[in-house]
Chains A and B, each alone.
Chain A
Amino acid sequence: MSDAKPQALRAEALESLLIEKGLLTSELVDEVVHRYSERVGPMNGARLVARAWLEPEFKKSLLEDATAVVADYNFEGGEVQKLVVVENTPEIHNAVVCTLCSCYPWGVLGLPPKWYKDPAYRARIVSEPREVLTEMGVELDDDIEIRVWDSSAEVRYMVLPMPPQDIEGKSLKELETRVTRDSMIGVQRV
């Protein structure tokens, strides 16, 4: 852990200078922070996943052109210029990473968790995905193929997890609450 105080001071000094220069106001920063904390998050991705589980036509559209589907939803958060949704099946398990930094589909998943940005995850999910997934609680049989998708500025990925066993009779709203953020990154099962 670095000594956070100099960073806190530097951030505060930077904000005060930018305000003096007329480039920012505290209220503007507050507004951005509020927006990302309240309205941008994995609940948006969960809506897509739950609907895809219930509606085959919707699922088809989502897998064919997620960018277009997401545009219709008008989620806030940007960072979803091109979104590709990859489907987990009994034969294939998908997981998402950004090997260079922290690219992540904010509009559907919110901001990335700390471990997603960690050098260990960024490197190891590529070099030894099966081990990493096991450590994260997803044990996969040897005959299941693992595909790891590297998000970038151009394309961001989201996983469509497999539906829960007890999907029968569940409503859209109920299912939305079952979808976890980590399942849409591909490091958890629903």
Chain B
Amino acid sequence: MAMELEGKATPPMANGEIVFEAPWQTRAFGMARALCEQGLYSWDEFRGHLIAEIEKYDAQPDGRGYEYFDHFLSALIQLLAEKQVCRSDELSERTTVFDERPHGHDH
């Protein structure tokens, strides 16, 4: 489900382009907000990490082009590692497991 925030019939929603370009971006946003609403961190705390990630890119663009949600996801992962909620090695391991699933189950 690619969520089109502006895809609604209401005219004020109808102008402009979609906010999320891929389902994972939607999930990343949903996770970040949900954890914030659960009280794990404040949005300002998250924002601090997001700014840091974006600054890294702004200081040294990697030539791949700017992808806001790449930085958004990195900021979330970084924050959760700092909160000792989810270690980066745990995440890498799980990502590898998912990557090695039989083809057709990698959605």
Residues of A within 8 A of B19 (CB): 110-114
- What's the Cα separation between A45 and B13 when bound, in Å? 11
One digit per residue, 1 when the CB lies within 8 angstroms of any chain A CB and 0 when it does not, for chain B 31-67 equals 1011101101001100100110011011001001111
Q: Contacting A6 at CB < 8 Å: which of B16, B30, B95?
A: B95
A111 touches B51 (CB 8 A): no
Q: Count of A residues near B, CB < 8 Å?
A: 56
The complex places the Cα of A179 from the Cα of B10 at a distance, in Å, of 11
B97 to chain A, nearest CB (A): 8
CB-nearest residue of chain B relative to A180?
A: B15
Inter-chain contacts of B54 with A (CB < 8 A): 100-101
In the complex, which residues of chain B have a beta carbon less than 8 angstroms from the beta carbon of A23? 35, 38, 40, 85
Residue ID in chain A nearest B33 by CB atoms: A32
Task: List A1-25 residues whose CB lies under 8 Å from chain B.
Answer: 1-2, 4, 6-18, 21, 23-24
Assuming the contacts A9-B98, A177-B12, asked whether A114 and B24 have C-beta atoms less than 8 A apart, the reply is no
Residues of B within 8 A of A186 (CB): none
CA distance A18 to B3 in the complex (A): 22
Chain B residues touching A, range: 35 or more
Tell which of A2, A41, A115 touches B5, judged by Cβ atoms closer than 8 Å.
A41
Cβ of B5 and Cβ of A100 under 8 Å apart? no
C-alpha spacing A9/B33, complex, angstroms = 19
Question: Is A79 on the interface with B (CB-CB < 8 A)?
Answer: yes
Say yes or no: B47 contacts A153, CB within 8 Å: yes
Contact: A13 with B67, CB < 8 Å? no
Complexed CA–CA distance, A29 and B25 (Å): 12
Nearest-CB residue, chain B, relative to A19:
B31
Contact of A2 among B12, B31, B51, B64 (CB under 8 A): B64
Instruction: State which of A4, A32, A41, A46 has its C-beta within 8 Å of the C-beta of B30.
Output: A32
Q: Across the interface, do A9 and B12 meet the contact criterion of CB distance under 8 Å?
A: no
The distance in angstroms between the C-alpha atoms of A181 and B30, with both chains bound, is 22
Ordered by A's residue number, 26 sampled pairs between the chains whose C-beta atoms are within 8 Å are: A2-B67, A8-B24, A11-B25, A11-B27, A12-B98, A13-B98, A29-B30, A31-B34, A32-B33, A33-B27, A36-B30, A41-B13, A43-B10, A43-B12, A46-B12, A78-B43, A101-B54, A110-B19, A114-B17, A114-B18, A117-B68, A119-B58, A153-B43, A180-B11, A181-B16, A182-B15
Interface residues of B (CB under 8 A from A): 3-6, 8, 10-13, 15-19, 21-31, 33-35, 37-38, 40, 43-44, 47, 50-51, 54-55, 57-58, 61, 64-70, 73, 76-77, 80, 85-86, 90-91, 94-95, 97-99, 106
Pick the 4 closest A-B CB pairs, nearest first.
A13-B94, A8-B24, A29-B30, A11-B24
